[in-house]
Structure formats: structure tokens, C-alpha cells
Structure 1
Amino acid sequence: MDLSEFIKDIYHDLPFLPRDLPPWEIINNLEKTIKHLLSNLETTNYKIVNQVAIHETALVENGVTIKPNTIIGPRCTIKAGSYLRNGVYLVSDVVIGANCEIKQSILFKNSRAAHLNYIGNSLIGEDVNLEAGSILANHFNEREDKTIRIFLEDKIVETNAIKFGSLIGDHSRIGANSVLNPGTILYVKSVVPRLTHVDQLG
């Protein structure tokens, strides 16, 4: 699985990512990866406190909660009431609207999450827009077998993971109040209409 087909600059922006790992393994190892990065991060442009690195050009409004093992890159904006946890990397120029929750995810440059979004265990490409209230679910709470499978190139692929949200390609648009099932794979320039439930194995 060549992730650069989904996120063109993934290995340029984050050269430390192993090229042979599928997205669910990258996400499952994200906290450990960020913890390692923080120990080697250039502190000239970042302020690092309690395992949270915030670039000097980033804006974090009052009332934001950021848990350890988080990197907020250049010119990012995080609006009031948002909650980042379990390993989050905002590459650059990312906007997180008010009252969003981001868990164990990477958002690439110029992507935007409007208010009241949940992004769980996901890889979000460049220039992706998530309208208000959209949910990237990461766990099958309702199923006895919680293992996540994905649909890729006309095949069902076993991830052997019980937590994985979405892989969203560059320049995609996710409509308001839509829900993406765990294991959703969206190619470049995908459009999800408002109020849509995406279940690729349904």
C-alpha cells in the first residue's frame, strides 16, 4: 500500500515514517513515534512543555486541552474547547475548530476540521476539509468481532487492529454531520455528502 497515492507529500513532510507500514500500524505506533520525535525536536522554534511541542507561529486559544505526545506545527490554529490526546501531529497550517476532539491522528498541511468534529485514529491528507459535526469513528462498539477490515483495490484486507479510523486522501471534502465507519479509505479528491454514513463493507 503506497500511502503517497493518498497523501502526496507524506514522506517528504514526515520522513521518519517507515514506508513499509500500513496506515493502521503508523497510527497504532503514533504515541511512541511522537515521544521519540520530541526528544530530538529543534527547540529553537518550538516550546516543549510536558511532552507537548507548540511551534512559535501556532495559535492555541484558551480552553484547549492538549495531552502529552503532541506536536503542533507551524501556523496551526486550535480553537477554544478542543481536546487533543493519545498522540496527535498537526503538520502545518492546520485549523482545528471549536470543541473538536482529535485522538491519535496526523493531519497534514492546510487541512481543516470545523467545530464539533471527532477524528479518531486517522491519517488526514493535505487540504482536507471536514465540515461541522463530522465523525471519523475508530472502533466497532456494537460488534462482537471488533477487528477492523478495510476495502482496498476491490479486496477486503484484514488489519488485525481494533482501533483505526480513516485514511483520507489529499483535497477531500467531508460533509457536515457525516459518519465514516472505522476502516474507511478515501482516495484523493473524495467528496462525502452531508448527512452520509460511509460503510465500505456494508
Structure 2
Amino acid sequence: MKYIIFDDEKHKNFYPLTCTRSTGDLRVGILKLRQRIKAFFRFEEYNLIISEKLEKIYKERHPDWQINSISKGETLFINSRLKVDEKMVKKIEELSLNTCLVKDNDILAAKLRTDQKRVSTENISGFFSNLETIQIEDGFLWNHTWELISENSKYIKQDFKDFFYEKDNFFETEMGVTILNPYDVWIGEKVELKPGVVIDASEGPVILDEGAKVMANAVIIGPAYIGKKSVIKVGAKIYEGTSIGPVCKVGGEVEETIFQAYSNKQHDGFLGHSYLGEWINLGADTNNSDLKNNYKNVKTYFYPDRKKIDSGTQFLGTIIGDHAKTGINSTINTGTVIGIGCNLFGRDLISDFIPSFSWGDGSNLIKYRIDKFLETAELVKKRRKLSLSEAEKNLYNNIG
């Protein structure tokens, strides 16, 4: 049996985050969606089907992966938006040949014989058009970014139980560190905990991954995940439902928020019920609202509809695309969506929808010159001893 994890056309539901990555590389809980699917199905090798726009950058980063190609033989296709669990794995593995599992028009999984050929997100639906369908009830696919935010606590708990609870634990603490409910705390190799740190796992697990550093007097309340080589700054308050990916620096007050990776919020300021991509920097005292004064559901910009829609949730902060920056004392309104590569500053409230490569304050935005953006992006990556590749430059030029 060959396995394929595929992005479907609804990858656009997760813009601006999926302008620069596969849907399967979105993080919720501890793992990315693709990693969780791979772990539950227990396969070693698989092909990845993504948008043509992302193909060059993925092949550059992962030269040993099979991307946008299908080989001959019996193949199981799995949607990268799948909310996977053991029951779902069983249903999918029991599919008969030439059958697909469907919710309305969305394919969760399909089993069929394939010939060797190239394919991408843009044309993959044609593979499933003549298959027998099995309809399934709602709730097994991710449809919006705010769902990842609202279910993050649940998935941190689940991932801890499934993948970390019995994993080797380097649980050693220095004098002056307070751990509440240590049985639900997992500490990776070379983690540093400074005096005055409080790790409170009373309401959910806390995972400090390899090489993470928690500076003096910081408080982390579970469920929470701190990624590899990330730094929690002095006196930070990290509340429940927060997942911080690798190589981030985070300070101030953070609640129910997901950091994809390589992003900084080093200073004081509140960030709640939000999702940040990569290479983002929030200036000192940047604050966001995650609750309306009238306590009604938050409306937020939805790229496929090109307008704001009801998120169905009372709490929603901001969704920020890769390489966006805010200046000091920036204020972000409830439900704001900020596109790729924005540079925002000034006293005016940042609100509603900020298109990619916008420059200026909330009431006076101009187009950020792409050459200047690329120059800054290259400098930012150099600080992490990484480079901005030609494939990345082409991708950003096409977004711009």
C-alpha cells in the first residue's frame, strides 16, 4: 500500500498562513497536522500533494520527499485537514478499493489504483470523481484557522498522552523552580529553567521541548507546549492553550495562541486567541483584543469569500501571516487578519483585514516595495544563520 497526504482546494480557507506552507504543516496542539496523520497511520514513507505554487519551495527544503507525484499501485489518499484518531484510522484502513470517505463534497480519504503521473492540489479532485462514496457525519475535517485556536488546548492534552507521556523525560529542576503536578510535565534534553520559574500543570500538561529556555520568574500554565530552542523571557505569563513552535522568543502575556515557528514577541503586551506564522516580530507593548465589548461572536476576514464572516466564536484575536512586523505600542483589534510581509506601526488601531505587503499605520497603508521586503526578510533569516532562497523570493513575488 502506498500513502499520500494531500491538500485540497480548501487550503485557501487558511490563508494567509497557507500562502507559504501546506495545510498539513499547520500546527495544532504539539504536532503539525501532517505529523499527527503520519503518527496515527504508522507509515514510514508517503507522498505529499500540495499547491503548484508551493512545489519549488518544498522540493528545495525537502529534496528527499516525493512531492506532487504519484506512483503506480494501490494507494490510500488522506486529506491533510483530517482530524485523525484511532476510530478514523480504522474507518479509512477498512475502505474498499475504488471507494472514498466523504463529508458533503469534501474527500476525507480514498483508496484506488493509480498510474505514475504528476498531480497537484489544483487537479487532484479528478482522481476521486468516479469512486463509490461513503458519507460521514460532520466534525472530522478542519475548516478554518480559528478552529485550530479554539481546540488547541484539547490537542495539547491529546498529543501529550499519545506521544510524550511515556517518552524519555529529562525531568531535572534547579533550586527555586516550582512544579505543580509534575506527572504532567515533560522536559526535554538540555532545557534550562531559571530560578523563580513556575510550571503549573494542574489543569493540563506542560511540555518543554529539547533546548527550550525559561528565564527567571516566568509562569507557564498548562496545557501548554514550548518548542525546541524557544525562549520564554523574564517574567512572562504563558497561559493555557498556548503552543509555541521552535526557535521563538516570547514574553509578556500570552493565552490560547499558536506560534508556528521562528517568531518573536519578546516584550510586554497581551496576545490572546491568535495564530502567528513564521518570521513575525511584534514590537514592544503590542497588544491585541480577543473579545468584543458586546460579547458577540467575532467576525473576521475570510479569503475565499473576500469579506468578513461570523467565526462562530466569542474569542478570536488576530491571524498573522509570515514575515509581518508591528512597531512599538501597536494595538490590534478583535478578529484582525494581517497578510504576508506587512510592516505596521503608528498610533491608529490595526483592524479588519490588512492585505499582504502593506506598509504604514492603520489608516494610511501603502504597498510595501517587494525588493525592500525581500531585503529585510534576508537580513532576518541571516540572524538565524539561514538564507532566503530563490524559490522563496519567487513565492513572495507571486504573492505580491
Is the TM-score greater than 0.5? yes
Give how far 1:5 is off.
4.1
Larger radius of gyration: 2
Which whole-Å deviations, capped at 9, do the CAs of 1:50-73 have from their partners, x for residues lacking one?
310101300001211111111111
Alignment match, 1:63: 217
Greater RCO between the two (CA within 8 Å, min separation 6)? 1
Distance 1:46 1:73, change over 3 A: farther
Alignment match, 1:41: 163
Equivalent position amino acid for 1:26 in 2: L
- 1:26 matched to 2:148: yes
Give how far 1:114 is off.
2.5
Q: Distance in 1 between matches of 2:307 and 2:286?
A: 26
Alignment match, 1:6: 17
Q: Distance in 1 between matches of 2:146 and 2:284?
A: 25
Q: Distance in 2 between matches of 1:92 and 1:120?
A: 19
Q: Distance in 2 between matches of 1:180 and 1:46?
A: 39
Distance 1:150 1:130, change over 3 A: same
C-alpha RMSD of the superposition: 2.2
- 1:148 matched to 2:298: yes
Q: Distance in 1 between matches of 2:208 and 2:278?
A: 20
Distance 1:46 1:95, change over 3 A: farther
Q: Distance in 1 between matches of 2:276 and 2:169?
A: 24
Give how far 1:45 is off.
6.9
Alignment match, 1:104: 256
Counterpart of 1:177 (choices 315, 329, 332) is: 329
Distance 1:35 1:197, change over 3 A: same
Alignment match, 1:159: 311
Residue 299 of structure 2 aligns to a residue whose secondary structure is strand
Give how far 1:80 is off.
1.2
- With structure 2 as the length reference, what TM-score do the two structures score? 0.46
Q: Which has the higher strand share?
A: 1
Residue 207 of structure 2 aligns to a residue whose secondary structure is strand
Q: Distance in 2 between matches of 1:190 and 1:152?
A: 18
Alignment match, 1:191: 343
Alignment match, 1:90: 244
Q: Distance in 1 between matches of 2:312 and 2:236?
A: 30
Residue 26 of structure 1 aligns to a residue whose secondary structure is helix
Q: Distance in 2 between matches of 1:88 and 1:30?
A: 7
Which whole-Å deviations, capped at 9, do the CAs of 1:149-196 have from their partners, x for residues lacking one?
013343121112110001100110012111111110111112211333
Give how far 1:26 is off.
1.3
Q: Distance in 2 between matches of 1:129 and 1:61?
A: 20
Residue 198 of structure 1 aligns to a residue whose secondary structure is coil
Which whole-Å deviations, capped at 9, do the CAs of 1:102-151 have from their partners, x for residues lacking one?
1001012110003112110000000100000001210012x2x5211013
Residue 119 of structure 1 aligns to a residue whose secondary structure is strand
Distance 1:93 1:45, change over 3 A: farther
Residue 108 of structure 1 aligns to a residue whose secondary structure is strand
Alignment match, 2:390: none
Equivalent position amino acid for 2:13 in 1: D
Alignment match, 1:129: 281
Give how far 1:4 is off.
5.7
Moved more, 190-199 or 39-48: 39-48
Alignment match, 1:74: 228
Q: Which has the higher helix share?
A: 2
Q: Distance in 2 between matches of 1:152 and 1:169?
A: 14
- With structure 1 as the length reference, what TM-score do the two structures score? 0.88
Query: Tell me, which stretches of 5 or more residues in structure 1 are unaligned?
Result: none
Query: Tell me, which stretches of 5 or more residues in structure 2 are unaligned?
Result: 1-11, 38-79, 82-141, 172-183, 186-200, 354-362, 364-400
